[in-house]
Structure 1
Amino acid sequence: MNQKRAFNWLLLLLLIPLCVSAETPAVDEPTASRTVEPVRPALPTPPNRPRPSRAEVLAMIPDVARRHGVEEALVRAVVAAESNYNAHAVSPVGAVGLMQLMPPTAADYGVTSVADLFDPRINLNTGTRHLKRLLRKYNDDYGRVIMAYNAGEGVVDRTNSQVTYLETLNYTEAVIRKYRQHGGTAPTQAALTQVRTLRGVRNTGRARRLLKKYLDPSLLSLKVKPTLDVRYLNPALHDAGPESRPMFELDTTVIR
């Protein structure tokens, strides 16, 4: 009987920790120890329908450009540079359609449905209206207009048109060249010259950053030692002539 009772107590002692463990709620890890991945908004999804051909898009552009008073050559150049005539194009940042419009920009012109931006005519009309507004704002300065279309008006205004983003410089140059190829006649040489100048500014800034990062300032340190007695270091007492020694010379022992 005593052995049976002892066995029951032993079994009870073994089961108690299991019961306590089952009833104790799990404690979450501290929030600070977890890595929270940023939630990226989903990109727009192209419609499940055949996209218009390049020829169909080209046929739409003259009417759209004429309606909004923008050169056909400029609209064609922007479409070619932005999407290469792909009405279903979506950029990694969410720009949509032929003229790669961001939804907030399109909303400024009353187009609030992202799905509508895949419609080639709606996209062309909206993008061309945006070009027209930029042309008015920047007094038909094509260089500033094209930079603003790519980088945004805020960047162009904040930098006084001195935009040094490599993407914007490449884009501006590409659009101007396509504009010329399509028969555009507005003055654009000054804009191309500015792009080359800004490339130089960008490269100079990059060179300075590299020097600051990698150059050991101690390599620029030079030390000199006097060659004369201290009391003769006064330039007024130093005779100049073929036989005279320099007042100072480079201390080569400290050059590494």
Structure 2
Amino acid sequence: MHSKPLARLAIPLLALLVPLALRAETEQPAAPTLAPVTVPPPTTPTPTLTPDSAPVLEPAPVAEPARPVRPTPPERPRPSRAEVQALIPDVARRHGVEEALIRAVVAAESNYNAHAVSPVGAVGLMQLMPPTAADYGVTSVADLFDPRINLNTGTRHIKRLLRKYKNDYGRVIMAYNAGEGVVDRTNSQVTYQETLNYTEAVIRHYRRYGGTAPTQTALDQVQTLRTVRNTSQARRLLKKYLDPSLLSLKVKPTLDVRSLNPALHDVGPESKPMFELNTTVIR
């Protein structure tokens, strides 16, 4: 009897419940957004260094010193020997230096080559070093290739050396080649092979060009200095290669201190020697 009224109520209830269920299904709350988690990088434990495990540090490379740039001769034609010789008399008169000496220095230094450059950077006819030329107001290396400028500058330098060494040609020539400092420091006993050869060559050129100043003493000194140089070289070789222990006998006492007194030393066939040669040092 009651089933029909309940059926009538069920249909409206279902009509209400189905839309609610569908709405609840579509309006589910969104999942919460999680903030990104930053994971720190794994830390490597610092190793404890011991003398055996310490890293070997390579030494920093040492830069080689820059080599000085050698002067470059000009591209213009080189003056001939005759052109250079024609300039020397005027230069000699201007500075009051014997012409034969200038010609001798030019012949020994460059053989009249105005464009000559030495391995160490000496320039021109009289092979002037740029710092030396700068002392006489010539600061341009290019100017030293000009034969007139080179002759005037080199002759001024010779003139000053003649005044300093009181016209001693031997000392002047040595100082022109080796430098005043070397001549002064060694009291003119320069034993450089190059300087000895140079001094001898200049003096021989000087004599051939008609020079009249006394130069035999200078030549004799060159021969003496050659002997000194050879003796010093032999001494250096002995010191380098000879074992000094072979130059002396090493002995050791065989008796006590009291018996070393010659007055107390026993004499006879059974006596012992006071000293014996230490043969362990002989090779």
Instruction: Give matches, 1:40-55, under 5 Å.
Output: 40-55=67-82
Q: Which residue of 1 aligns with 2:51?
A: none
Amino acid in structure 2 at the alignment position of 1:128: T
Amino acid in structure 1 at the alignment position of 2:78: R
Amino acid in structure 1 at the alignment position of 2:124: G
Q: Is the 8 A contact 2:260 2:274 kept in 1?
A: no
Q: Secondary structure at the match of 1:33?
A: coil
Q: Which residue of 2 aligns with 1:71?
A: 98
Deviation at 1:248, TM superposition (A): 10
Amino acid in structure 1 at the alignment position of 2:184: D
Q: Which residue of 2 aligns with 1:160?
A: 187
Deviation at 1:218, TM superposition (A): 2.5
Deviation at 1:160, TM superposition (A): 1.1
Deviation at 1:134, TM superposition (A): 0.5
Deviation at 1:220, TM superposition (A): 2.0
Q: Which residue of 2 aligns with 1:212?
A: 239
Q: 2:189 and 2:58 mapped to 1: Cα distance? A: 43
Deviation at 1:152, TM superposition (A): 0.8
Amino acid in structure 1 at the alignment position of 2:197: N
Render the CA deviation track for 1:146-179: whole Å, top value 9, x for unaligned.
0110011111111111111111111111111111
Q: Which residue of 2 aligns with 1:182?
A: 209
Structure 1 residues 224, 177: closer, same or farther in 2, change over 3 A? same
Q: Which residue of 2 aligns with 1:121?
A: 148
Structure 1 gap ranges (5+): 1-29, 239-246
Q: 1:105 and 1:168 mapped to 2: Cα distance? A: 18
Q: Is the 8 A contact 2:88 2:103 kept in 1?
A: yes
Larger Rg: 2
Structure 1 residues 39, 249: closer, same or farther in 2, change over 3 A? same
Instruction: Give matches, 1:1-256, under 5 Å.
Output: 32-222=59-249
Q: Is the 8 A contact 2:252 2:278 kept in 1?
A: no
Render the CA deviation track for 1:21-80: whole Å, top value 9, x for unaligned.
xxxxxxxxx894313111012111111110001111111111111111111110011001
Q: Which residue of 2 aligns with 1:22?
A: none
Q: Is the 8 A contact 1:73 1:183 kept in 2?
A: yes
Structure 1 residues 96, 253: closer, same or farther in 2, change over 3 A? closer
Q: 1:98 and 1:167 mapped to 2: Cα distance? A: 18
Q: 1:231 and 1:149 mapped to 2: Cα distance? A: 64
Number of aligned residue pairs: 213
Q: 1:197 and 1:48 mapped to 2: Cα distance? A: 45
Q: 1:178 and 1:114 mapped to 2: Cα distance? A: 27
Amino acid in structure 2 at the alignment position of 1:199: R
Structure 1 residues 146, 231: closer, same or farther in 2, change over 3 A? closer
Q: Is the 8 A contact 1:222 1:250 kept in 2?
A: no
Q: Is the 8 A contact 2:110 2:125 kept in 1?
A: yes
Between 60-69 and 138-147, report the one with greater CA deviation. Answer: 60-69
Between 214-223 and 151-160, report the one with greater CA deviation. Answer: 214-223
Structure 1 residues 232, 43: closer, same or farther in 2, change over 3 A? closer
Amino acid in structure 1 at the alignment position of 2:246: L
Q: Is the 8 A contact 1:224 1:248 kept in 2?
A: no
Deviation at 1:251, TM superposition (A): 6.4
Q: 2:177 and 2:95 mapped to 1: Cα distance? A: 20
Amino acid in structure 2 at the alignment position of 1:177: R
Deviation at 1:211, TM superposition (A): 0.5
Q: What is the TM-score of this pair, normalised by structure 2?
A: 0.69
Cα RMSD, aligned residues only: 2.6
Q: 2:209 and 2:156 mapped to 1: Cα distance? A: 20
Q: What is the TM-score of this pair, normalised by structure 1?
A: 0.76
Q: 1:250 and 1:166 mapped to 2: Cα distance? A: 48
Render the CA deviation track for 1:193-236: whole Å, top value 9, x for unaligned.
1111111111111111110111112222336899xxx89956xx
Q: 2:145 and 2:231 mapped to 1: Cα distance? A: 41
Structure 2 gap ranges (5+): 1-56, 254-258, 268-272
